[in-house]
Chain A
């Protein structure tokens, strides 16, 4: 049994990172994620990790690159505009196959936007916001508990696949306070013989790089990366279901919106409409197969996606449903939380 605490989502994430054995944190303050760096700054003297407040998100992500390449468990956290600044680094890290955890506590955009919660960075997170063909493992917590649990999981997945893992949270999950059972600290250390730590006589020099100047080498690197991504797709899909067994209407939502949509399902069932919720926990790899199964079932009449954006995940749902059932998209933009009634009304209108 771990410690039970009442914490903000951002603080739970920070505490979990310490317990996951994070050795280096590099970040830059931005609302609504600043509590992470503030919490870590308070804790730093009591623990064995290094914290650097960098001069920018560009510097933070490259410090993460350096620390990961040196074999350390490392993390940075930011919010939307900061994550945009990190995209070059994300691409380099993905190609150099460096394990690290990056957290985007999303706010409303585009541009400087608003500091209220948003989900407008879905495309950037799952389609690759930087250049070239690469994938991040993307986790979408919807509670303070999951902010902690996903952080532990993220460090493990990063090390297991030598791949950056993104926690795509949002301003609501980052800021709310809830009860959280904190995980036990990790004590085992993972061997990283590939890390650049000083060349010993027993091995050739280690070079952390994403440079493959010969196109044949670059193609081979891409083939290897794609093979890894297929492996991740086969093993790491995670989702949660709520009342899907007899559902005629499948609501799909992640993060804070998924909590609203549970209420939508309850309200719908009160009105006699058989609704259910499919909530992706990993946004990449996406639960393509589960969506396809549901789309193939006769009783399922339609899908409704609810997001705090103009409709981004809906594209992945449509791809997975592959034209077998209609997929409708609703939600609010600009940092406004949709109400359960709004989503329910939208769904009922499309049932007529």
Chain B
């Protein structure tokens, strides 16, 4: 536990000591801000019966920002250490592989949450101005945030895995972007063109991230979604651990 905390502190420090954390958070908040004001403008032109959170998180904006930021957050985690050689000093200390994997993953999670916390506060802020606050209830906003955390955690776990495979940051970023975009496009396909998928459609619809996010943004907490994300996150963390361990296979 102590080792984990020491590692986590350094990992988190590395985001902010090298500016990359500020840049990613700053740029994301800028994009989120633009999209938020755009959607609020839309709300002013015509009435809608969907919650504001759903309006926002079913939009292209959310997915675009998510797809772009997560590879940037995780591309450095192992690739940079491998290319500079610090991976060698790290793994020759008495630290277990799980501690390394969890510390890297959770520090990326902290930055991810720092990115998405302000828009949540904005959603709550809308309550001050809205005549009808049914669309922005606390519960809805909380479950939306949970959805963002879970989808983000899944993407970051994939990113960590991609980064553990290579010593090049750009390959790591490209790999995790391809996996993330692949998952997103699959969801998009299931949602808007299920006919093309034929008999596979009902199976693949279980993997539709957009549909999951829609539920979270409506304030629906479905245990199936929780299990889905928890198992995928664990799977990728486990794979990352295996990759680290493979260095010591004979």
Asked if A and B are interacting partners, one says no
Chain B positions within 8 Å of A, measured between CB atoms, are none
